[in-house]
C-alpha cells in the first residue's frame, strides 16, 4: 500500500490505549483549559485521525508563515496550508492545557496540548498568510472571513487527541479516520484506489467521473470521501448528502467497488491550496489517486477553473507526494452520444448538445418537487434532495 505522507507508518494522534486515554481524561479535569474555535477543533480531529500525518500538533508561527509562502515548514516538510490553533485567550508557554470542543454541548475535552510557544500574530502576518492560502483578502470569501477572525494568539505544540468531536456520534456509518480507511482498503485487497472529494450531493456527472477514473486507471476501487464539517450558508447538510450518495452507490455501482466515507473537517474554500491538502490526506488514507475536477474546492469566482490542477504541475515540488492526480474536465451528459462525457473529449459538441443546469435552477426544481432530467440526476437521488428542499419551505 502507498506510504503515508512524510513517514513510513501512519502516526495518528488519537490515544488508542483505553487506560491511557481514561487517565488523560481524568488529568484534563485539573488542567487549565481553553475553548477552541471550530477551525482548531477540526484540525485536532484531523490530527487525531492521522489525516495530517506526519504532524505531531499545531504549527508555530515560523512554520505557518513558511507553509503559507512556500508550502513547506522551516525544516522542509511539504505541507500546503498552516495547521494552527489561534485563540484570543491568555495561555502561558510551557503549560499543559485541555482543549475544549466548541461544537459539542457541554464543551467536553477534545485534546490535551503541551504548549511549546505562545506567539502574538500581527494583522500583517495574518493577511500575508490569508492571501497566500486563499489568493485574496476579500472578506466576502468565506475562508478569508473565517481565517482572519480566529484570534491573534498562536499556540503551538504537540497534542494528544481524546475524541472525534460530534462526527462519530452524528455519522457513525460514515465518519472514518485515515487509520480505519487504510485498514478497510487492506481488507478489500485494493492496491490502486481513486479518491473522490465532495461537499455536495453527487449527480450523474460525478457518478460517471468516478467510473471514468476507475476505468482509465484500472483501479480496484473508489473512495467517495465527503466533508462532514461546517460549510457556508446554503450548502446542503451532511446528513442529506450522505443519504443521497449512499443511495446512488447502492443502486448504480457494483458491490465492493466503492467505499462511502466522511471526514471531520470544516471547509476552507481555498481552491488550489485545499486541493493539495486533499491530496495529502488522501495519501494518508492509502489512496493512490485523487480526482481533481473543475473548480475543485472553489467558491465564487476567486479561482480559475483549472487552477486546482495546475498547482500540482507548477507549485508542488517533484517527489513531494506519492499520490497522483486524475485531472478531469467539466463533465456533462451528451445528447448526441447518450452518455456522460468530459467536454474536452467532444470538441465537435456545442453547448446545446449537453444537458446543463445551473445549481440555482436545480434547487428551484427540487424545491417545487420537480425532478431534474434523469440525464442530470438519478431519480432516487433527486427524491432525497427534493424532500429536503421542500422541507425548508414547509
Residues belonging to the active site: 199-200
Strand 354-355 to 331-334 pairing: antiparallel
Task: State whether residue 152 is helix, strand or coil.
Answer: coil
Residues 6+ apart with CB under 8 A from 162: 14, 15, 21, 24, 25, 28, 109, 110, 111, 112
Contact present, 333 and 351 (Cβ < 8 Å): no
User: What does the block give as the cell for 320?
Assistant: 513531494
Q: Which of 217, 211, 226, 225 is nearest to 192 (CA)?
A: 217
Answer for the pair 74, 66: CB distance below 8 angstroms, yes or no. Answer: yes
The span from the CA of 72 to the CA of 78, in Å, is 4
What DSSP letter does each residue of 312-357 carry, written as one string? HHHTSPTTS-SSEEEE---EEEETTTTEEEEGGG-TT--GGGEE--
* 313's grid cell: 504541475
Distance in angstroms (rounded) separating the CA atoms of residues 51 and 47: 6
Query: Which residue from 156, 175, 154, 155 is spatially nearest to 165, judged by alpha carbons?
Result: 175
Report d(CA 241, CA 238) in Å as an integer. 5
Return phi, psi of residue 339, to 5°.
-160, 165
Amino acid at each position: 500500500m502507498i506510504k503515508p505522507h512524510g513517514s513510513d507508518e501512519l502516526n495518528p494522534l488519537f490515544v488508542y490505549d483505553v487506560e491511557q486515554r481514561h487517565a488523560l481524561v481524568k488529568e484534563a479535569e485539573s488542567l487549565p483549559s481553553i475553548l477552541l474555535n471550530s477551525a482548531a477543533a477540526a484540525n485536532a480531529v484531523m490530527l487525531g485521525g492521522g489525516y495530517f500525518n506526519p504532524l505531531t500538533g499545531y504549527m508555530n508561527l515560523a512554520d505557518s508563515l513558511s507553509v503559507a509562502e512556500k508550502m513547506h515548514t522551516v525544516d522542509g516538510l511539504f505541507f500546503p496550508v498552516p495547521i494552527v490553533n489561534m485563540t484570543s485567550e491568555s495561555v502561558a508557554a510551557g503549560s499543559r492545557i485541555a482543549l475544549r470542543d466548541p461544537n459539542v454541548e457541554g464543551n467536553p475535552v477534545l485534546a490535551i496540548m503541551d504548549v511549546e510557544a505562545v506567539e502574538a500574530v500581527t494583522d500583517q502576518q495574518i493577511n500575508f498568510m490569508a492571501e497566500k492560502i486563499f489568493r485574496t483578502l476579500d472578506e466576502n470569501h468565506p475562508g478569508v472571513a473565517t481565517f482572519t477572525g480566529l484570534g491573534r494568539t498562536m499556540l503551538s505544540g504537540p497534542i494528544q487527541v481524546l475524541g472525534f468531536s460530534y462526527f462519530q456520534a452524528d455519522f457513525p456509518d460514515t465518519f472514518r479516520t485515515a487509520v480505519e480507511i487504510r485498514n478497510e482498503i487492506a481488507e478489500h485487497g485494493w492496491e490502486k484506489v481513486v479518491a473522490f472529494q465532495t461537499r455536495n450531493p453527487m449527480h450523474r456527472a460525478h457518478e460517471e467521473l468516478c467510473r471514468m477514473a476507475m476505468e482509465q486507471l484500472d483501479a480496484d476501487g473508489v473512495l467517495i470521501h465527503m466533508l462532514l464539517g461546517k460549510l457556508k450558508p446554503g450548502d446542503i447538510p451532511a446528513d442529506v448528502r450522505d443519504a443521497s450518495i449512499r443511495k446512488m452507490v447502492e443502486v448504480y455501482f457494483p458491490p465492493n467497488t466503492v467505499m462511502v466515507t466522511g471526514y471531520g473537517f470544516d471547509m476552507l474554500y481555498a481552491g488550489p491550496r485545499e486541493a493539495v491538502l486533499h491530496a495529502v490526506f488522501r495519501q494518508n488514507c492509502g489512496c493512490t489517486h485523487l480526482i481533481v475536477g473543475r473548480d475543485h474546492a472553489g467558491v465564487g469566482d476567486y479561482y480559475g477553473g483549472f487552477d486546482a490542477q495546475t498547482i500540482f504541475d507548477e507549485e508542488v515540488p517533484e517527489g513531494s507526494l506519492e499520490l497522483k492526480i486524475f485531472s478531469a474536465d467539466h463533465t456533462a451528459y451528451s445528447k448526441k452520444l447518450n452518455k456522460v462525457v468530459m467536454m474536452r473529449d467532444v470538441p465537435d459538441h456545442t453547448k446545446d448538445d449537453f444537458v446543463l443546469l445551473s445549481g440555482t435552477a436545480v434547487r428551484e426544481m427540487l424545491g417545487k418537487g420537480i425532478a431534474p432530467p434523469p440525464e442530470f440526476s438519478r431519480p432516487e437521488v433527486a427524491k432525497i434532495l427534493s424532500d429536503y428542499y421542500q422541507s425548508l419551505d414547509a
